[in-house]
Amino acid sequence: MNANGQLRWLDSYPDPLRWDVELPTGPVWTLLEQAVTQYPDHPALNFLGHRLNYRQLNELVNRAACGFQRLGVKPGVHVGLYLPNTPHYVIAFMGVLRAGGTVVNYSPLDAERTLAHKIEDSETALMVTLDLAALYPKMAGLCANSRLQTLIVGHFTEFAPDASAEQANLLGPATEVAFGEHCRSFASLLDNDGDYTAYPLDDAATALAVLQYTGGTTGAPKGAMLTHANITASCSQLQAILDESLRPGEERVLAVLPPFHIYALMINMLFSLRMAAEVYLHPRFDAETVLREIHDNRITTFPGVPTMFIGLLAHPLTAQLDLTSLKLCNSGGAPLPLEVQQRYSQMAGCALREGWGMTETTTTGTFTPRDATPRPGSCGIPVPGAQIRIAPLDGAPGSLPPGERGEVCIAGANVTAGYWKRPEATAEAMTADGFLRTGDVGYMDEEGWLYIVDRTKDMILCSGYNVYPRVIEEAIYEHPAVEEVSVIGIDDAYRGQAPKAFIKLKAGADPFDFAQLQAFLESRLGKHERLAAMEIRAALPRTPVGKLSKKELVEEEQQKRHRAIA
């Protein structure tokens, strides 16, 4: 243990970075103000080939703030954003906050019942969306049958007037919009002089900026309350750990992740604003488009999720195009398979870093120092100002020693104060001394490096042994024919539960049977970790942000069991 007690990671911090570095906080809109002051003519957004510089972006945000206030937005009013990766999102997000309101993020891939729950639970009064057939009709119906009072509807290419027909249909066709008293155009929102009323924040640590709903894999989604201080502290943490890699006013960030997700919101948008970077907005992920964008426009930063890097590795253009402009590739949102990390880093010539975090930590929790010797399986050390400890899985108080597995708990300026209108859930998620219980199973070594083993809810109890799907997945990823894999627990008459693997093969790979896979894994897994079943599929289910999703697989297996019993 480090001489500083539980802060055993201090000796792992590279000079001159310090864990106790000052983390400035304040209103979120100051991130844009600083960029405008220092780099007014620098490109801010690049959408379908059309650019907005920081001065132009700031003017549009001011006009959005004024327009929102004319529609009644002020402190205490919640505005929903139901948008893909377009300039509308950035303008509306910052405009709502400058108007004094709170942003509520909505996923365009949510089911209607989930959207209705979030609207009611969050007390959303206005919703911003686009005239796409995949978006507007659903919100129009909810506006007529929920607490929503006003829709603000933009046009997909209004900030890219020269877009081609192919570009205009990237997310499908537009549809007719019934504009009227309760449905305004985004253009009309901006049709003013930008003279909005400023609402100074008395305390950034308590002022609510964003209601960010959790995925809802268990029960109804809960709104994590993220304050202005949570968000700006997270940006300060990112600034501290990336200071030697990135330079303000010089970076070009490829934003493919959907902005409603906390990882994309923080890394692609808010931290990019802090760095005065040029953000290339892509409405959806396409491996060839991403590779050509990196090659053609000398992208320096590409944040993604594991499935994206798997897709790039599988594409033949990867070996043909120049990716040497990349300075930082970061994987988040889900555990990164070691095999994928090593292959991508070798292919791109740019280390693929992995960190760990969650909605409730405003995306950041750990990071991998740039020049540190890789530690296979580790997601790094705690970010500046964050404390992490490993608690016993049985809920007992205290902290486990190095190497012992338990629940990862975290505290820091970036950690949410709790869940919106959920005092019981907040109390359950917090320890008595203010640490957030993350639900992740992991351990910490002597030098403070964190290893995430799995989620507590994903852990499989096989014949009395704790079995972690991620351990099995890592072993299966070593098979040369495997592109993606998800492992879940299924009912087993003898073992209670047993692991089953769902596998997607690489294009052109020779298939294998269950016996062949068992033979491959014999030296890689313990007896208690052996698979009970395997299923090869053409595709595996994903979440809206592109992560592999086990929820659907678990539901399918439960339905099979119910049918068998019936």
Q: DSSP string of 201-249?
A: -S-TTTSEEEEEE---SSSS--EEEEEHHHHHHHHHHHHHHHTTT--TT
Residue 11 has pLDDT above 70, yes or no: yes
CATH of 47-200, one of 1.10.3720.10, 3.20.20.70, 2.40.440.10, 3.40.50.980: 3.40.50.980
Q: What confidence category does residue 47 fall into, taking pLDDT thresholds of 50, 70 and 90? A: very high
Domain ranges of the chain: 1-27+228-457, 47-200, 460-565
Cα(531)–Cα(83) distance, integer angstroms: 41
- The total of other beta-carbon atoms located within 10 Å of residue 562's CB is 9
- Superfamily for domain range 460-565: ANL, C-terminal domain (3.30.300.30)
Residue 535 has pLDDT above 60, yes or no: yes
Q: CA nearest 376: which of 392, 354, 356?
A: 354
Q: Is pLDDT larger for residue 395 or for residue 178?
A: 178
Burial of residue 144, with CB atoms counted within 10 A of its CB: 0-12 exposed, 13-18 middle, 19 or more buried:
exposed
Residue 312 has pLDDT above 80, yes or no: yes
Q: What confidence category does residue 216 fall into, taking pLDDT thresholds of 50, 70 and 90? A: very low
- Region 461-470: mean pLDDT is 72
Q: Given this model, what pLDDT does residue 219 score? A: 53
Q: Given this model, what pLDDT does residue 251 score? A: 96
Q: Given this model, what pLDDT does residue 4 score? A: 43
Q: Which of 308-312, 525-529, 541-545 shows the highest mean pLDDT?
A: 308-312
- Region 193-218: mean pLDDT is 86
Q: Is pLDDT larger for residue 384 or for residue 555?
A: 384
- Region 489-504: mean pLDDT is 86
Q: Given this model, what pLDDT does residue 463 score? A: 63
Which residues, 6+ apart, have CB-to-CB distance to 291 below 8 Å? 312, 315, 317, 318, 321, 323
Q: Given this model, what pLDDT does residue 218 score? A: 42
Tens of pLDDT, residues 141-180? 999 889 999 999 999 999 999 999 999 999 999 999 999 9
Q: What is the mean pLDDT of the chain?
A: 91
Residue 215 has pLDDT above 70, yes or no: no
Q: What confidence category does residue 487 fall into, taking pLDDT thresholds of 50, 70 and 90? A: very high
β-pairing, 496-505 vs 482-492, is antiparallel
Tens of pLDDT, residues 403-458? 999 999 999 999 998 999 999 999 999 998 899 999 888 999 999 999 988 777 77
Sign (positive/negative) of CA torsion 165, 171, 173, 174? negative
Residue 333 has pLDDT above 80, yes or no: no
Q: Is pLDDT larger for residue 398 or for residue 83?
A: 83
Residue 488 has pLDDT above 80, yes or no: yes
Cα(158)–Cα(155) distance, integer angstroms: 5
- Region 363-374: mean pLDDT is 86
Q: Given this model, what pLDDT does residue 2 score? A: 46
Residue 1 has pLDDT above 50, yes or no: no
Q: Is pLDDT larger for residue 212 or for residue 358?
A: 212
Task: Evaluate whether 1-27+228-457 and 47-200 have a shared fold.
Answer: yes
Q: Which amino acid is at 550?
A: K
Q: What confidence category does residue 563 fall into, taking pLDDT thresholds of 50, 70 and 90? A: confident
Residue 24 has pLDDT above 50, yes or no: yes
Q: Given this model, what pLDDT does residue 3 score? A: 41
Contact 34, 155 (CB under 8 A): no
Q: What confidence category does residue 503 fall into, taking pLDDT thresholds of 50, 70 and 90? A: very high
Cα(30)–Cα(446) distance, integer angstroms: 39
Q: Is pLDDT larger for residue 532 or for residue 4?
A: 532
Q: Return the C-alpha torsion angle 206, 242, 332, 260, nearest 10.
A: 50
Q: Is pLDDT larger for residue 271 or for residue 245?
A: 271
Q: Given this model, what pLDDT does residue 370 score? A: 80
The length of the chain is 566
Distances (CA, A) of 109 to 68, 84, 100, 266, 449: 25, 10, 28, 20, 35
Give me the CATH code for the 1-27+228-457 domain, please.
Answer: 3.40.50.12780
- Region 76-84: mean pLDDT is 97
